[in-house]
A and B are shown apart, each in its own frame.
Chain A
Amino acid sequence: MDMQPVKFYQTATFTVGNRLLGENQRSVQANMDRTNSLNSGHRACQGCGEALGARYAIDAAMRAAANNLIAVNATGCLEVFSTPYPETSWQIPWIHSLFGNAAAVASGVAAAMRIKGRHGVRVVAQGGDGGTTDIGFGCLSGMFERNDDVLYVCYDNEAYMNTGVQRSSATPPAARTATTPAVGHEPGNVFGTGKNVPLIAMAHQIPYVATASVANLRDLEHKIARAMSVHGARYVHIHVPCPLGWGSLPADTIKVARLAVESGLFPLFEAEYGEITGRTQIRRKAPVTEYLRLQKRFAHLFAVENDPRLARIQAIADRNIAKFGLSEGERAHG
């Protein structure tokens, strides 16, 4: 990663801003003139990670595109809470069509802009994990293989939250959802299912793929800026906790996201043309139990002492750390 580490020893770049840094080294979110692409008055729940992630990502994209940006939105929480007819929270050109076709609509918008000769206008498509990894997956894969000039941002809250917390292909093992209740001999979502869309995107050999988290703003903004600096199909997958669906405290949204990263369950990396080029190192490693314990969807894991599934989840985290080289000194296994 080409982010310059800042040796200001008070908070470095861990906080949103740092009054000791020069203006050009500060984050987009620290700026008093940030776009606030997703404005106040939206109807997301208290402590919504997705609302936060969307403002982070789109504000960064707006800066990178010099405010020439069109956003296409899949159906989902983000679309529903931001645009209850006839109000909108969006302060940028924004279009919604269907649940599964955001990638295709964005491809079309990009083509229209090209034909009209408006080369400076950039296109972003965005959706939740349901609209991305399940319902919109065909359109997404098509956008990738055609290398259409679109940045697709997926806000991953690991289930269909808008319709009442149903399982998606991004739901982690053991998580309780409306369709994977915590009953029976294998409560919650079964192990060994689901898919990793960032790795699938990489398999399309597209110019840029990255994962990010609302818990690491500077890393997120860097990745959006990097994605916007190239043309072609790009994909950024952002981990956004959902207090309602996960059963975590609204105040803990960033803490939960941080523990997902620090435990290794949500690895942060970036890749160009199918090759991993950067990994964000874990700063203070945390056991997965610290992450799981804050969420009621995993409460059944703590009903008995030393549930063997905890070790299985820890093994997933450890494998991520080894595979992606997230802990200093450990390199990727290729």
Chain B
Amino acid sequence: MDKPFAITLDVGSSLANKTGSWRTERPVYIDRLPPCNHACPAGENIQSWLYHAEGGDYEAAWRVLTLDNPLPAVMGRVCYHPCEESCNRGKLDEPVGINSVERFLGDEALKRGWRFERPASESGKRVLIVGAGPSGLSAAYHLRRLGHAVTIFEAGPLAGGMMRFGIPKYRLPRDVLDAEVQRILDLGVELELNRKVSNILETMQQGRFDAAFLAVGAHIAKRAYIPAGAAARMLDAVAVLRGMEGDDKPLLGRRVVVYGGGNTALDVARTAKRLGATDAIIVYRRTREKMPAHDFEVEEALQEGVLIKWLSTIKNMADEGTLTVEKMCLDNKGFPQPTGEFETLEADSLVLALGQDVDLSLLDGVPGLAIANGVVQVGPNMMTGHPGIFAGGDMVPSERTVTVGVGHGKKAARHIDAWLRGVRYAPPPKHELAAFESLNPWYYADAPKTVRPVLDLARRTSTFDEVVYGLDETNALFEARRCLSCGNCFECDNCYGVCPDNAVIKLGPGNRFEFNYDYCKGCGICVSECPCGAIKMVPETI
């Protein structure tokens, strides 16, 4: 014994004491599904691209974003951003301006000339896409990146579909659209314009295509029977908006009445104002709450002086431009019922914006197809009843927005790719939703949403300049940093700091953390104090 007085044991470290054995529950790192990603019809990984944008790495952010959506500059302008409606930050102050950051990234990519990566290898398969709208372009992009040879047949004179012939310039400048379409074509996608497909099976056979994706959209204006004099000027909204793309602008006159309550009705009324109409009046048979148009568009239209007559239907139109309008009232089921009260409106023209139907003539004689309510029925894999023919966008049952179209294109591309290889595409299982309750919002600093500057009202009603401006780098960065990173670790070091037992191992930037279960006692502080809900407790198994 050469130990000092009263010492009988060697001094040791407490590391010999494996306190992990105390545990009944263990913390585990998880990824939850952020509500924005969950809500995105195009399936964007929003949280992930915001994470890169927060750090100022815009190109990495854009690359993650374009894994799902090849049209960020377009979408950053025309998407109705359901992501923002579901954003958890909305429960704290205001939702993150996801749409405005998307537009910033899209514009930045155009400015800096970022290109898509060409496929690493060619599959040797040929895919025909009918229609160069959002859905067709998205499918073309995704299929091309998977190595397939893609050809688009477009019936119109220019690519873009409803993005060009339905959405006015003041919402989507054409140079932006052209640039994003060109970037897809630069991947090696072939585009044939003015090429209307009248018989799909014949076209596929002639071109030796292995599969086809149909996305012809819905271009035929719906009609309503309105008795009208021979000289009364009655137009449809699709024709008016399409006419805006030609040299001869539609002649609407000074007093324009638009019949309908959707976004198209608003687009026409706002376009009429810009063409010089003194009065642009929307007649809609129900109330503002029931209007299918999006609230911010109604708001912008009202600011520009568009008038809306609620609870009214048009009974007839006389030669000298006099409309008879009947007042309606809602019954207890919420349906409009006539009241027998009439009034007259002066109008130089009446534009019908009552929705659109699909031209399905190209599908005549294709066996196995199911058509219901004027749209083609598709399975969960976007394939029609005829093997090898897939369809998406406005011609299948959908919400008929650009974003839904882009989402259809992506989804169809994955299934077409699998079908061509003779397998089934199985989407990866979805993580559980990152509900607001799983967050610890204490840790987020207060920061209200950045308001996007808006074009001067006077110029809005006289020109077709873009109404909503983009963000610049400083406020786009600010906006990106408002993201709560719901359900996904953003390396705030909280778990690493708050563990009383040093049982969290920091793996360094980009590598997140791991638990040292030898010493973790399972207290759960890391779970309570994780701002973004990326840790959960699970019972220990014996």
Contact = CB atoms under 8 A, between A and B. Distances in A.
Interface of A: 8-12, 14-20, 26-27, 29-30, 32, 36, 38-44, 46-49, 51-52, 55, 82, 84-89, 217, 243, 249-255, 258, 284
Given A86-B9, A87-B12, A40 B22 contact: no
A29 B495 CA distance: 10
Interface string B523-535: 1110111010000
Contacts of B55: 19-20
Interface centre among A15, A38, A44, A87 (most CB of B within 10 A): A15
Interface in B489-542: 490-494, 496-503, 506, 508-509, 516, 518-519, 521-525, 527-529, 531
A255 B528 contact: yes
A38 B484 CA distance: 32
Nearest to A42: B14
A40 B498 contact: no
Contact of A16 (B11, B447, B493): B493
A43 B14 CA distance: 9
Given A32-B506, A250-B524, 20 more contacts: A9-B481, A10-B490, A14-B442, A16-B493, A18-B493, A20-B54, A27-B493, A29-B493, A30-B493, A40-B14, A41-B14, A42-B501, A43-B17, A46-B522, A52-B499, A85-B9, A86-B11, A251-B523, A253-B525, A258-B442
Nearest to A36: B502
A271 B9 CA distance: 45
A229 to B, nearest CB: 23
B444 A11 contact: yes
Contact of B482 (A9, A27, A52, A258): A9
Given A16-B493, A41-B14, A11 B445 contact: yes
Contacts, number: 161
Given A10-B54, A14-B445, A32 B19 contact: no
Given A9-B481, A15-B492, A52 B9 contact: no
B523 A46 contact: yes
Interface in B350-366: none
B13 to A, nearest CB: 6
A253 to B, nearest CB: 6
B478 interface: yes
Nearest to A8: B481
B447 A82 contact: no
B409 to A, nearest CB: 33
Contact of A41 (B491, B509, B519, B528): B519
A39 B525 contact: no
Nearest to B10: A86
B260 to A, nearest CB: 42
Contact of A51 (B13, B491, B494, B500): B500
B16 to A, nearest CB: 6
Nearest to B7: A86
A17 B497 contact: yes
Contacts of A27: 493, 497
Contacts of B524: 47, 249-251
11 contacts: A9-B445, A10-B483, A15-B531, A41-B18, A43-B17, A49-B500, A51-B501, A88-B12, A253-B500, A254-B528, A258-B442
B502 A251 contact: no
A17 B492 contact: yes
B225 to A, nearest CB: 56
Nearest to B19: A41
B502 A30 contact: no
Given A9-B445, A15-B492, A46-B522, A87 B498 contact: no
A258 B529 CA distance: 11
Nearest to B14: A41
Top 5 A-B residue pairs of the complex, sorted by shortest distance between their CB atoms: A17-B493, A16-B497, A251-B524, A41-B14, A47-B523
A55 B497 CA distance: 10
A250 B509 contact: no
Interface of B: 7, 9-19, 22, 54-55, 442-445, 447, 478, 481-485, 490-494, 496-503, 506, 508-509, 516, 518-519, 521-525, 527-529, 531
A46 to B, nearest CB: 4
Nearest to B447: A9
B347 to A, nearest CB: 50
Contacts of A254: 498, 525, 528-529
A8 B56 CA distance: 13
Contacts of A84: 14, 17
Looking at chain A's contact residues, the main secondary structure is loop
A44 B500 contact: yes
Contacts of B508: 32
B332 to A, nearest CB: 43
B352 to A, nearest CB: 47
Contacts of B19: 40-43
Contacts of B493: 15-18, 26-27, 29-30
Contacts of A40: 14-15, 19, 501-503, 516, 518-519
Contacts of A243: 523
B444 A41 contact: no
Contacts of A250: 523-525
Given A11-B445, A27-B497, A255-B528, A88 B502 contact: no
Interface centre among B442, B447, B478 (most CB of A within 10 A): B442
B319 to A, nearest CB: 62
B496 A30 contact: yes
B371 to A, nearest CB: 50
B474 to A, nearest CB: 12
Given A46-B523, A250-B524, A10 B500 contact: no
Interface centre among A11, A27, A40, A217 (most CB of B within 10 A): A40
A86 B481 contact: no
Contacts of A8: 445, 481
A15 B440 CA distance: 11
Contacts of B490: 10, 19
A291 B329 CA distance: 54
Contacts of A11: 443-445, 492, 531
Contacts of B497: 15-17, 27, 29-30, 217
Interface centre among A29, A217, A251, A284 (most CB of B within 10 A): A251
A8 B509 CA distance: 18
A20 B502 CA distance: 24
Contacts of B525: 47, 52, 250-251, 253-254
Nearest to A10: B481
Nearest to A9: B447
A251 B530 CA distance: 11
A251 B445 contact: no
A12 B528 contact: no
A249 B537 CA distance: 14
Contacts of B443: 11, 14-15
A249 B9 CA distance: 37
Contacts of B491: 17, 19
A19 B13 contact: no
